Amino acid sequence: SVSKMASVCKRLVSVGTFGRNIRLHSRIFSTSPTANAGEDSSDPKKQAKEQIYHVRERGYQLLRDPRINKGMSFSLKERQHLGIHGLLPPALLDQDAQVIRVMENFHKKETDLEKYILLCGLQDRNEKLFYRVLSENVEMMMPIVYTPTVGQACQLYGMAFRKPKGLFITVHDAGHIYEILCNWPEPKIKSIVVTDGERILGLGDLGAFGMGIPVGKLSLYTALGGVDPSTCLPIVIDVGTNNEALLNDPLYIGLRQKRVTGKVYDDLIDEFMEAVVKRYGQSTLVQFEDFGNHNAFRFLEKYRNNYCTFNDDIQGTAAVAVAGILASTRITNKRLSDNVFLFQGAGEASIGIANLIAMAMVEEGTSEEEAISKIWMVDSRGLITQDRPSGGVTGHKAPFAKPHKDIKDLGEIVKAIKPTALIGAAAVPNVFTEEIIRGMASWNERPVIFALSNPTSHAECTAEQAYKYTDGKCVFASGSPFDPVEVNGKTFYPGQGNNAYIFPGVALGVTSCGVRHVTEDIFLRSAQTLAKMVTKEDLAQGRVYPPLSDIQEVSANMAINIAKYVYKRGLASHYPEPADKAAFIRSQMYNTDYERFIPDTYTWPEQ
């Protein structure tokens, strides 16, 4: 009928994919011939749809587009229709067979860096296959595409660079950032991860080599959170580097100059944020990643109430750590306020965790003053106290300064404070000594020890050391992965407090609902969601986090709870409000199944 034809025409959507125009025809199977404006788009019946892509470009160029390319999964009809017949071997392999082939090649690689390069190549050729392989092998591949291998990849990024995966914006581009954003071929960006490369993981200033972090981070947005990769944009803001080795490296791909600071730097970041909103809209999520400590807090406070932004090093780390602490209370049988927390480090990660712990204690019924009194911090000058002779107690450290004698040695500090929970997030390797760990076990029945620094070489202690020196009594979590540990005949499976438990779910929830400001409450709700998904079986094995294999479900549930919260608080801008938040969120998640490129055909009756 004419109405049906009109309905179909309305569903022809133009989608730009790396410079090629693709027309997406979505056929919605429903008893109703047309969809009424304002209908609840989260209705699962209306989400059962088959996607058929109509591509204008044909032939060899089509096979070079990772968004479209299916490799040997193109059917014979598709190969003939699209002008690629003969360009592929004659065998027809479904996606399952392709997964097997990828995994066989993966296991043949001898080093983690070789595996990383293999997966990067797959992402460049066949995006859906890449995300299926990654999402189905999270525990195996997370250490490859993210911490710790991504750190090694960043150090060698100049050798690994093959094709653009994001935007490089330099200090010399001031006044033209909007035009550069317009050069990116995808017009509907919802998520940006940006770094200036000053503090990449625990490796320091890597300048433009830091691009590996936004690329890897956004890969996890999709693989773990179901965020559509076509809506994601990695960005490096290159203002130079103070790394002399890079400045003298003939293969360095960034600006060969010392870092620009001060007003010029600040104005550049201001222009960047304004350009993002102008190009993509107010609800575009901007995740700041691996900026220097002196800039991270500053930018978070400056932009959090004016833009949709968060800092994963501060807020993501805080949420995942607090989730682990919340889960640990089910082992220690203590309320949060019954604990005394001691932080090794007072940088952005430690301050973020401490603030969120205090917020959680206040929600538990504790006064803010009492909550702060339970938290102690140590920096490079020793215990943070009021009127410390060596000074340095300023800014975000000041609220945690308490009257106490000046102590510099961590071992002596631990003896004096006698914490129930010891948390390391300063990337000082092996700082949790045998004496310190044994001391924690001497005055705590179940000491909580979190060695959150990464990569593995920067961990405060290993899982084996923590379990061995406490005779298996400790509740342990780490920032990098560790193998299971056997102590006294019992096997413990260390929980990895990876930010990947948090940022994919937060990104999915925030971008799906059109949130314009990411509040601290969103991160506390995310931490609580994660903690509740830790099962009794997990706790019995020593885990304070769910297995990484469950992370997609964690992200989905986190996004659903965020959706419920932001609509209740009036923080969402996506309307009409979905009646079924769970169905709505799941309908937004990326599907790794291949699309069809040949529409169904039919015949008319003979005249």
pLDDT of 427 above 50: yes
pLDDT of 26 above 50: no
pLDDT higher at 33 or 358? 358
Q: Please give the sequence-ordered ranges of beta strands (E in DSSP) within 212-361, or none if there are none.
A: 232-238, 285-288, 309-311, 341-344
Q: What is the pLDDT of residues 87-123, one digit of tens each?
A: 999 999 999 999 999 999 999 999 999 999 999 999 9
- Active-site hit among 53, 116, 146, 157: 146
Alpha carbon distance 582, 532 (integer Å):
17
Alpha carbon distance 388, 7 (integer Å):
71
Say which range, 400-404, 456-460, 465-469, 506-510, has the weakest mean pLDDT.
456-460
Q: What is the pLDDT of residue 44?
A: 41
Say which range, 23-32, 217-226, 230-239, has the weakest mean pLDDT.
23-32
- Active-site hit among 115, 128, 190, 217: 217
pLDDT band at 35 (very low <50, low <70, confident <90, very high): very low
> How many CB atoms are closer than 10 A to CB 187?
13
pLDDT band at 203 (very low <50, low <70, confident <90, very high): confident
pLDDT band at 51 (very low <50, low <70, confident <90, very high): low
Among 213, 135, 132, smallest CA distance to 551 is for 135
Q: What is the pLDDT of residue 161?
A: 82
The whole-model pTM stands at 0.87
Q: What is the pLDDT of residue 146?
A: 86
What's the whole-number mean pLDDT along residues 588-595? 96
Alpha carbon distance 104, 276 (integer Å):
41
289 is in an annotated binding site: yes
> How many CB atoms are closer than 10 A to CB 409?
11
pLDDT of 184 above 90: yes
Q: Token digits for 50?
A: 């088959």
> How many CB atoms are closer than 10 A to CB 304?
17
Three-state DSSP at 162 gives coil
To the nearest 10 degrees (0 to 180), the angle between helices 112-125 and 138-145 is 100
Q: What are phi and psi of 254, to 5 degrees?
A: -105, -170
> How many CB atoms are closer than 10 A to CB 416?
14
498 is in an annotated binding site: yes
Among 575, 472, 548, smallest CA distance to 138 is for 548
Q: In what order do the strands lie in the sheet with 20-28?
A: 12-17, 20-28, 49-55
pLDDT band at 49 (very low <50, low <70, confident <90, very high): very low
335 is in an annotated binding site: no
Distances (CA, A) of 461 to 434, 449, 454, 464, 511: 9, 9, 11, 8, 37
Q: What is the pLDDT of residue 60?
A: 96
Q: What is the pLDDT of residue 526?
A: 98
To the nearest 10 degrees (0 to 180), the angle between helices 410-417 and 434-443 is 0
290 is in an annotated binding site: yes
Domain ranges for the chain: 2-92, 96-307, 322-499
Matching fold, domains 96-307 and 322-499: yes
Alpha carbon distance 523, 502 (integer Å):
8
Alpha carbon distance 328, 545 (integer Å):
10
Element (H, E) at 122: helix 112-125
pLDDT of 307 above 60: yes
Alpha carbon distance 553, 543 (integer Å):
17
Q: What is the pLDDT of residue 53?
A: 65
Q: What is the pLDDT of residues 263-300, one digit of tens each?
A: 999 999 999 999 999 999 999 999 999 999 889 989 99
Kindly report each contact of residues 176-181 with a partner whose C-beta sits within 8 Å and lies 24 or more positions away, as own/partner. Answer: 177/268, 177/271, 177/272, 177/275, 178/275, 178/278, 178/279, 181/275, 181/276, 181/279, 181/280
Q: What is the pLDDT of residues 383-423, one digit of tens each?
A: 999 989 998 898 889 999 999 999 999 999 999 999 999 99
For the chain, helix (H) and strand (E) counts, in that order, are 26, 17
Q: What is the pLDDT of residue 395?
A: 85
Active site residue 165: no
Q: Going by CATH, does the domain composed of 322-499 fall within 3.40.50.720? A: yes
Q: What is the pLDDT of residues 347-364, one digit of tens each?
A: 888 999 999 999 999 999
274 is in an annotated binding site: no
- The DSSP annotation for 386-436 comes to TT-TT----GGGGGG-BS------HHHHHHHH--SEEEE-S--TT-S-HHH
CATH homologous superfamily of 96-307: Malic enzyme, N-terminal domain (3.40.50.10380)
Percent of the chain past pLDDT 70, that is, above it, reads 91
Q: Is 525 in contact with 326 (CB distance < 8 Å)? A: no
Say which range, 15-29, 44-58, 149-163, has the weakest mean pLDDT.
15-29
Cα atoms found within 13 Å of the Cα of residue 435, Cβ hemisphere only: 8
Alpha carbon distance 286, 528 (integer Å):
23
pLDDT band at 46 (very low <50, low <70, confident <90, very high): very low
What's the whole-number mean pLDDT along residues 539-556? 94
Q: Is the dihedral of CA 12, 15, 21, 25 positive or negative?
A: negative
What's the whole-number mean pLDDT along residues 228-244? 98
pLDDT band at 45 (very low <50, low <70, confident <90, very high): very low
Active site residue 418: no
